[in-house]
Chain A
Amino acid sequence: MIESIAAGRHRLSVGEASERVTTSVGLLRRTIRQTTLSVHGQPLIEVDLKCSQPSILANVLAIENNNLSPQQQWLLRGVDLPKFSGCAKADYRDFAATVEAGLLYERLAEGSGLTRDEVKKYVMRDLFAQRRRYDAPVQKAFFKRWPSVGAYIFAVNNRTDNPKLITLLQTIEARLVTQAVAQTLADRLPDDVGFVPIHDCVLVQVTHQSTALDAFKDVFENSRFKLRVEAKG
């Protein structure tokens, strides 16, 4: 893979179901990306959307369908999500505050006895991509803490002939990062400076870290989404 990238055979593909962009660099393991890649001798940094899909879910649930901004309409086009009626409930407000603070995985780790990394994997498998409720520690911890959000997730996943919640969230994430943020960055960075979007983060040279952070923030502001980004060295 590294040889292919070095030889300029960089691949890019766009997923059919969720518009996710997959690139040769994105397929490399994170540790290899961090130790192996550089641009013109400069190390790269990942500007990462924190707690990405849960945060997007919290924001989407708060949107009122009759009051969408043009950017929100663009982000949500074709994404068929039922209306969430629990925005005023205390558990939803706690969920939104937790994901905005980037502490979802930590809270679920406390409630389930798993490690943060295990929780991160199981949130996707046992919640966002799951149609069935069973005795999974992450499911139990999630329902105990945020029952109305949990019920909404399973209501979405159990609709027949509809994509699961994870696919819908990945679609919005792809539009946010690999389309809106990438377009903003492409406009702002000099022509000879490359960057690579990888699902919920963008890989840029260290010197362009602030440009990337600003691009994320401007896109969030335009779409009225409360999301957080962080730079990982």
Chain B
Amino acid sequence: MNTLRYWLPQSYDAFGSLPVASWDLVPEAKLLVSLLAWKHAHQQIDKHGFSYLHSQWLKTLLGRGYSRLVNDLARSKVIARKNYSAGRFSYGYRLANSLTRCPVINELVESTRIRNRLAKWQAARQAEQETRWQPIHHELAHIDSVSSRSIVRRRYGDYQRIADLPSRV
């Protein structure tokens, strides 16, 4: 079952933010905006609101059109980009203020290529993770997956304002 969802600002218009020639990159644009909205909501930003995303990682998730997509989104002022510093930090990205202030909605990821890329990336990350696991971590993961279904007493809505979401614990 496909449960992957974008986390998009309600007022974000994916087609309107890209030139017609780049409409093939609409799923990638939604993924990038979704990532930035999530980072903003979880305060994973610097004091100027920029999230630092490694270009190699973005290329893995956004594919070959990554550079064109970023340029198009920057041109339409959906995102702002801050330069990188070699060996210190990656490019910083920030969503337009109008997008960070509006509510977010969940939208199903329908693009097969995005789902495949995310699944591939997640599998690689999990494999790399498990090289660090001790036996107790496997046991904890098993305990959690068995018991986690029963631990939620109250559901939260699908829809909240970005500013209302909890920051990191």
Q: Which B100-120 residues have C-beta < 8 A from chain A?
A: none
Number of interface residues of A (CB under 8 A): 41
Q: Which of B3, B132, B140, B153 contacts A7 (CB 8 A)?
A: B3
Distance A36 CA – B157 CA, assembled complex (angstroms): 13
A8-B145 in contact (CB<8A): yes
**Interface contact B166-A178, CB-CB below 8 Å:** no
Interface assignment of A195: CB less than 8 Å from any CB of chain B? yes
With A5-B152, A37-B151 in contact, do A30 and B144 touch (Cβ < 8 Å)? no
Q: Would A12 and B137 count as touching, CB distance under 8 A? A: yes
Interface size of B by Cβ–Cβ distance < 8 Å? Answer: 29
Q: Does A54 contact B (CB under 8 A)?
A: no
Which residues from B are CB-within-8-Å of A6?
148-149, 151-152, 155
Of A15-23, A63-71, A88-96, A97-105, the stretch lying at the interface with chain B is A15-23
Q: Which of B3, B137, B147 contacts A194 (CB 8 A)?
A: B147
Contact of A14 with B136 in the complex, beta carbons under 8 Å: no
Nearest CB in chain B: distance from A47 CB, A: 16
**Stretch in A132-140, A149-157, A179-187, A219-227 touching the partner:** A179-187
Alpha-carbon distance between A39 and B147 when the two chains are bound, in angstroms: 8
Say if the beta carbon of A29 comes within 8 Å of chain B: yes
Chain A CB within 8 A of B47 CB: no
Contact at A36–B147, with CB atoms within 8 Å? no
Task: State the main secondary structure of chain A at its contact with B.
Answer: mixed
Residue of A at shortest CB range from B141?
Answer: A12
Write out, one digit per residue, whether chain B residues 121-159 have a CB within 8 A of any chain A CB (1) or not (0): 000000001001110110111011111111111111010
Are A23 and B144 in touch, CB under 8 angstroms? yes
Q: Is the CB of A36 within 8 A of B153?
A: yes
Give residues 12-61 of A contacting B (CB, 8 Å): 12-14, 16, 19, 21, 23-30, 32, 35-40, 44
Query: Chain B's nearest CB lies how many Å from the CB of A17?
Result: 11
Residues of chain A with a CB closer than 8 A to B151's CB: 5-6, 25, 37-39, 44, 194
Complex formed: what's the CA distance from A174 to B101 in Å? 37
Among A3, A5, A10, A14, the residue within 8 A (CB) of B132 is A14
| B169 contacts A by Cβ under 8 Å | yes
Indicate whether B64 reaches chain A with its CB closer than 8 angstroms. no
- The smallest beta-carbon distance between A177 and chain B, in angstroms, is 11
| Best-buried of B133, B147, B150 by chain A (most CB within 10 Å) | B147
Q: Is the CB of B166 within 8 A of A29?
A: yes
| Measured CA separation A193–B144 after assembly (Å) | 10
Question: Does B168 count as interface, using CB distance less than 8 angstroms?
Answer: yes
Q: Which residue of A lies closest to B167 (CB)?
A: A29
C-alpha spacing A164/B143, complex, angstroms: 33
Interface membership of chain B positions 60-72, coded 1 if the CB is closer than 8 angstroms to chain A and 0 otherwise: 0000000000000
Per CB-CB distance, the 5 closest pairs between chain A and chain B, nearest first, are: A194-B147, A6-B152, A29-B166, A10-B148, A10-B144
Q: Residues of A with Cβ closer than 8 Å to B?
A: 2-3, 5-10, 12-14, 16, 19, 21, 23-30, 32, 35-40, 44, 178-179, 182-183, 186, 192-197
Q: Identify the B interface with A (CB < 8 A).
A: 3, 129, 132-134, 136-137, 139-141, 143-156, 158, 166-169
